[in-house]
Amino acid sequence: MSDFRSHIAVIDYGMGNLHSVAKALEHVCPGAKVSITADPAVVEDADRVVFPGVGAIRDCMGEIRRLNVGDVVSQAMKTKPVLAICVGMQALMEHSEENGGVDCLGLLPGRVKFFGNQHVDAAGAKLKVPHMGWNNVHQTIDHPLWQGIDQDSRFYFVHSYFVAPSEPQHIAGRCDYGVNFAAALSYNNLFAVQFHPEKSADAGLQLLRNFCHWMG
C-alpha cells in the first residue's frame, strides 16, 4: 500500500515529542511525506494531521493560542484524519485542573482531572503519580486504528492528569490506574490517545501504521 495519499503534518507548537513521532511515522509509512510544521497552509495541504503534546497544559495552551493552533486543529478535524497524542488529547477538552485550572480548546466535551497526590489502587496500595510506564488498554469499540492490535495490549504512558469526557460514546479505549480512565477517544475523523504510540513498541507502531491508511 504505497500509492495512498501520504502527506502527514505533525503540528509543531514547541511542546511535543515531535521528532520521535515523525521518525515513527516515517518508519511505518515508507514513502510518506512527514512535515513538522505550525504553518496553517502546510496543515491544510496535508492528508492527515498529528496533534502531539507533552508538558504542562498551561504552557501548551499558551503556545497553542499564540500560534492559532486551535483553529488549525479545528479545521483539520472537519476535513481529514487527525490523531491527537497525550497533552494533544487533553488540549481538545473544555477545561483542565492542571496549573490551578486552565481552559482548553473545547473541541470535545469534557474535563481533564488530576489523579491526586493520595492515589491508590483497588486494594488501597499507593500508586505513583505521574502514571509512568506500560499499562493495558482495553478497546471499547471496533475502530480502524485498533486493527491488528490485540485486546488489552500494553502501551506506554506518562501523565498525571486524565481525560473525563462528558460523552461516554466518545471513549474508544480504557485503562485502569486506580481509576478506570479514557485512554483513547474517537469522534468522526478524530482519534485521540493518552499514551505515546511512538514509544509503545509493536502495538504503538501498528496504531500509527493504521493511522497512515485510515481515511477518517
- Which CATH number goes with the domain that contains 56? 3.40.50.880
Condensed to tens digits (0 to 9), the pLDDT of residues 42-73 reads 999 999 999 998 889 999 999 999 999 999 99
Q: Which of 86, 104, 175, 212 is catalytic?
A: 86
The answer to whether residue 29 is catalytic is: no
Please give the pLDDT value at position 185.
98
Q: What integer is the mean pLDDT of 115-144?
A: 96
Split into its structural domains, the chain has a count of 1
Q: Which of 60, 98, 159, 198 is catalytic?
A: 198
Whether residue 172 lies inside any domain: the answer is: yes
The answer to whether residue 198 is catalytic is: yes
Average pLDDT value over all residues in the chain: 94
* Domain enclosing residue 16, as ranges: 7-102+109-213
Condensed to tens digits (0 to 9), the pLDDT of residues 81-109 reads 999 999 999 999 999 999 999 999 999 99
Whether residue 161 lies inside any domain: the answer is: yes
Residues near 89 by Cβ (< 8 Å), separated by ≥ 6? Answer: 53, 163, 185, 192, 193, 194
The answer to whether residue 196 is catalytic is: yes
Please give the pLDDT value at position 57.
94
Separation between Cα atoms, residue 44 and residue 79, nearest integer Å: 9
> Residue 137: which region, alpha, beta or left (left: phi > 0; alpha: psi -120 to 50)?
beta
Whether residue 142 lies inside any domain: the answer is: yes
Q: Which residue has the higher pLDDT, 160 or 15?
A: 160
Please give the pLDDT value at position 4.
52
Whether residue 183 lies inside any domain: the answer is: yes
Residue 165 has pLDDT above 70, yes or no: yes
Whether residue 1 lies inside any domain: the answer is: no
Kindly report which listed range (32-36, 53-57, 102-106, 191-195) carries the lowest average pLDDT score: 53-57
Whether residue 2 lies inside any domain: the answer is: no
